[in-house]
Amino acid sequence: MLQFLDHFLDSLNPSHTTFRVYIFAAIILIFSLIIFRTILKMVKFIYAYIINARRLRCFPEPPRRSWLLGHMGLIKNTEEGLLVVDSLVKTYIYACSWWFSLCYPIVRLFHPSSIKPILQVSAAIAQKDELFYGFLRPWLGDGLLLSHGEKWGRHRRLLTPAFHFDILKNYVKIFNQSTDIMLAKWRRLAVEGPVSLDMFEHVSLMTLDTLLKCTFSYDSDCQEKPSDYITAIYELSSLVVKREHYLPHHFDFIYNLSSNGRKFRLACKKVHKFTAGVVQQRKKALQETGAEEWIKSKQGKTKDFIDILLLSKDEDGNQLSDEDMRAEVDTFMFEGHDTTASGLSWILYNLARHPEYQEKCRKEITELLEGKDTKHLEWDELSQLPFTTMCIKESLRLYPPVTAISRRCTEDIKLPDGKVIPKGNSCLISIYGTHHNPEVWPNPQVYDPYRFDPEKLQERSAHAFVPFSAGPRNCIGQNFAMAEMKIVLALTLYNFHVRLDETKPVRRKPELILRAENGLWLQVEELKS
């Protein structure tokens, strides 16, 4: 190295010895500074790491798999993985620490009193955690689910009116019609008697159809023809979870070269092509009518989601960029149909396991529909299904479509028992764990809709049941989803019996959404009278 420097200086100015000495000294000094800074940074990092690890000791820690891997790989995204979560919750009740490899700790929270402080605090203090959500970014962009800071606040304010009750009321007709299409298909398939169907397949197409019609005024006919979009969504959800669980694939350059990385890119392309088509169609219609006319035609009426996206302007009069619009469309398209499909599929499964509750729901629905000309539900009638609503909520408790969410704390967060989640750490808010916590829900594995008897509500914390999360970043579409689930369930039970298919055992599969390994197969049989 020194020899090289000497040659280098020779070539600069061989005659000037003093100058050479100065340059030489300066270079040595710079190198020393760089080395010193690197060492200082490492010392700082190790010091911060030790202090943080010490502070995290207030949380109990389950035995690690090894000193290097920490707890990595102990919870798989399978039925067995969920059983491990059950046993963690039973053992630690409130929270525990968890290490991904040697250096990445998270705090797992699974009690209403532990999740409440994180969910209630402002979105700037409990931010979305990049490790958990970052892999979704190439697919969902910087939409409402993943954005933060000012942008998130602006878009949340912009889009909230699209989910006002006055708008949701208009969607009830579409919920009824989309369910009719699904049930007509079931009728054709079950014409010769009971038939076994994968609920996820049928219900996902129906919820996608509904979402496209409601929020994008787009008639895709997707229930009648195979959907590349749905296949790609399934693939993306599963690939994202696989990536989370395999450390080398956390690095973009390795992932991009892997076969899963290639599959991910291809599936993203398919999804983006579909969403771009939806936006383009509506943009064209708007251009043909002209923005002025369009707004006039909406006077007195409420604007839907895509109207808001296309017509909104910021303080400076700028419209949403194409990229922002695409991100919001991708986010709502995924969040809006897959979660509801999971919720509905598991509700039907639970009612198939409990024919007595199924019958009780059917009686309630029949009393409501009997004597009406159209066997459709109206908005005002949704509040007249108390038992059916209890069954839906109990299913969302036992099988929450979103099993966990994650946050990174930008400040220390104190829990009611005095423990502190130190600033800079990530925490995993386990919705599944909170819903299965025996301290909060006696016999948590039992499906018992009477837990949601309105009279029992006072007995529990408001954070004991959080399928839609809570606080500033709760689910913007929860009223949409509840209304849709009530209508789909009511019409389905009014027309069909659902039973378990004993030949196809059900195993849960927690991916981005709680699915079933190899599908969720139920026998459906049309009710004749």
**Nearer residue to ligand HEM within complex by CB, 129 or 501:** 129
**Nearer residue to ligand HEM within complex by CB, 95 or 190:** 95
By CB under 6 A, name the one of 346, 468, 496, 521 that touches ligand HEM. 468
**Nearer residue to ligand HEM within complex by CB, 54 or 164:** 164
Which helix or strand (DSSP H or E) is residue 109 part of? Answer: strand 104-109
Q: Is 343 in the site for ligand HEM (CB under 6 A)?
A: yes
Binding mask 152-181 for ligand HEM (x = CB under 6 A): ----x-------------------------
By CB under 6 A, name the one of 98, 99, 171, 332 that touches ligand HEM. 332
Burial letters 79-94, b for 16+ CB under 10 A, else e: eebbeebbebbeebbb
**Encoded tokens for 133:** 């959500």
Contacts of 456 (CB under 8 A, 6+ apart): 450
Report residue 210 CA to chain centroid gap: 19
Q: Which stretch binds ligand HEM (CB under 6 A): 8-16, 164-172, 234-242, 464-472?
A: 464-472
Assess contact for 339 and 401: CB atoms under 8 A: yes
Assess contact for 73 and 245: CB atoms under 8 A: yes
Q: Is 206 in the site for ligand HEM (CB under 6 A)?
A: no
The answer to whether the annotation marks 475 as part of a ligand binding site is yes
Secondary structure letter of residue 59 according to DSSP: S
By CB under 6 A, the residues from 476 to 515 that bind ligand HEM are 476-477, 480-481
By CB under 6 A, name the one of 223, 238, 339, 434 that touches ligand HEM. 339
Secondary structure letter of residue 129 according to DSSP: P
By CB under 6 A, name the one of 72, 126, 140, 144 that touches ligand HEM. 144
Distance, in Å, from the CA atom of 179 to the CA atom of 487, rounded to the nearest integer, reads 8
**Encoded tokens for 37:** 């800074």
Q: Is 336 in the site for ligand HEM (CB under 6 A)?
A: yes
**Nearer residue to ligand HEM within complex by CB, 144 or 190:** 144
Which helix or strand (DSSP H or E) is residue 203 part of? Answer: helix 199-216
Q: Which stretch binds ligand HEM (CB under 6 A): 31-39, 110-118, 327-335, 451-459?
A: 327-335
Q: What is the DSSP string of 413-468?
A: EE-TTS-EE-TT-EEEEEHHHHHT-TTTSSSTTS--GGGG-GGGGGGS-TTS--TT
Least distance from C-beta 107 to ligand HEM, angstroms?
A: 16
Q: Is 473 in the site for ligand HEM (CB under 6 A)?
A: yes
With the C-alpha atoms ordered 470, 476, 481, 482, is the resulting torsion angle positive or negative?
Answer: positive
By CB under 6 A, name the one of 145, 391, 421, 428 that touches ligand HEM. 145
**Residue type for position 269:** K
Q: What residues pair up with 195 in beta bridges, in sequence order?
A: 524
Q: Is 203 in the site for ligand HEM (CB under 6 A)?
A: no
Q: Is 433 in the site for ligand HEM (CB under 6 A)?
A: no
Q: Which stretch binds ligand HEM (CB under 6 A): 77-85, 184-192, 329-337, 359-367?
A: 329-337
Q: Is 331 in the site for ligand HEM (CB under 6 A)?
A: yes
The counts of H helices and E strands in the chain are 19, 12
Q: What is the DSSP string of 346-414?
A: HHHHHHHH-HHHHHHHHHHHHHHHTT-SS----GGGGGG-HHHHHHHHHHHHHS-SS-EEEEEESS-EE
**Closest residue to bound ligand HEM by CB:** 477
**Nearer residue to ligand HEM within complex by CB, 178 or 331:** 331
Binding site for ligand HEM (CB under 6 A): 144-145, 156, 331-332, 335-336, 339-340, 343, 401-402, 405, 467-469, 473, 475-477, 480-481
Q: Specify binding-site residues for heme.
A: 475
List binding-site positions.
475
